[in-house]
């Protein structure tokens, strides 16, 4: 897999079949994704839960979806059968909103043979794909010691140290970015100097990603003057920011750096600066 995206038609013709991971989730109802998986998923897909499998322990100061340790991720990958040469396709029912976290985690762990199903379950069904209700049993493999991180990150201290002047993109909805509302975290606003790139703006009306040239043109004013690969992305808790990371790779703009703690971590410390923007 030499692209972060795979189309439904390409997946249907893939041989051998890759390992499928269903990452459907709902921030307002943590059980909803698994319930949707039980009602119908891509044949052979395993379910991956954002909280249980893709996020670590919360302290109240490290954000709502902190990363697990690399050893924990390595053990989880082995338990579901992800060895060094295993091709993996991740998907969800939210146009990649949550599956991008699995994509990013696997890439961070050095696993390059992973792609996001472009358009998710809807695209699969539109292409004539069937859904199944049987739950497959994973085939574990030996744990592979994790190499050095293969995707760049910054922690809160490093972000703060580079303000002002850091080229930071915020993937949250515009009203949350501006600070008009804050339905989840304790403080409204954004990290000073951040620019807004709502992750849903990466998508076409059918839930698939926009073409590379269109993404490149839309990101141009946001990353103008920044060296390739020097952009930092954040969101509410380090999940949908991965959508922007993937979109920038599709656009040929290099690999952006993720701030995993994002706004939920940043706003937990009252000493950190907060910025708000006028309503549009």
Element (H, E) at 12: helix 8-12
Q: Which of 109, 235, 251, 268 is catalytic?
A: 235
Close Cβ partners of 218 (under 8 Å, ≥ 6 residues apart): 201, 210
Close Cβ partners of 261 (under 8 Å, ≥ 6 residues apart): 62, 63, 66, 155, 156, 237, 238
Element (H, E) at 217: helix 212-223
Reply yes or no: is the peptide bond before residue 67 cis, omega within 30 of 0.
no
Q: How many CA atoms lie within 13 A of 164 on its CB side?
A: 5
Give the strand order in the sheet containing 46-47.
5-6, 114-117, 88-91, 19-22, 46-47
pLDDT tens for the 280 residues of the chain, in order:
678 999 999 999 999 999 999 999 999 999 999 999 999 999 999 999 999 999 999 999 999 999 999 999 999 999 999 999 999 999 999 999 999 999 999 999 999 999 999 999 999 999 999 999 999 999 999 999 999 999 999 999 999 999 998 999 999 999 999 999 999 999 999 999 999 999 999 999 999 999 999 999 999 999 988 887 789 999 999 999 999 999 999 999 999 999 999 999 999 999 999 999 876 5
Catalytic residue at 235? Answer: yes
Q: How far is CA 249 from the centre of its chain?
A: 13
Domains of the chain: 5-126 (3.40.250.10), 156-266 (3.40.250.10)
Dist. CA 197–CA 21, nearest whole Å: 27
């Amino acid at each position: 897999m030499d692209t972060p995206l795979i189309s439904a038609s390409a997946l249907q013709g893939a041989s051998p079949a890759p390992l499928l991971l269903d990452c459907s989730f709902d921030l307002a109802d943590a059980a909803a994704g698994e319930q949707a998986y039980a009602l119908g998923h891509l044949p052979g897909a395993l379910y991956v839960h954002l909280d249980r499998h893709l996020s670590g322990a919360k302290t109240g100061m490290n954000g709502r979806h902190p990363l697990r340790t690399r050893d924990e991720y390595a053990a989880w990958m082995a338990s579901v059968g992800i060895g060094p040469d295993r091709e993996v396709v991740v998907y969800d029912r939210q146009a990649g909103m949550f599956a991008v976290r699995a994509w990013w985690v696997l890439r961070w762990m050095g696993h390059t043979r992973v792609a996001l199903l472009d358009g998710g379950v809807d695209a699969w069904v539109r292409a004539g794909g069937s859904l199944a209700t049987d739950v497959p049993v994973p085939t574990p493999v030996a744990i592979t010691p994790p190499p050095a991180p293969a995707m760049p990150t910054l922690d809160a201290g490093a972000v703060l140290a580079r303000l002002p002047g850091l080229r930071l993109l915020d993937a949250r909805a515009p009203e949350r970015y501006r600070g008009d509302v804050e339905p989840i975290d304790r403080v409204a606003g954004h990290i000073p100097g951040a620019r807004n790139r709502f992750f849903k703006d990466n998508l076409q009306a059918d839930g698939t990603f926009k073409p590379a040239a269109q993404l490149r043109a839309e990101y141009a004013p946001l990353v103008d003057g920044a060296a390739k690969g020097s952009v930092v992305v954040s969101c509410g808790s380090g999940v949908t920011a991965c959508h922007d990371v993937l979109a920038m790779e599709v656009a040929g703009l290099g690999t952006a750096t993720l701030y995993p703690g994002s706004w939920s971590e940043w706003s937990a410390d009252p000493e950190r600066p907060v910025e708000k923007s006028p309503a549009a």
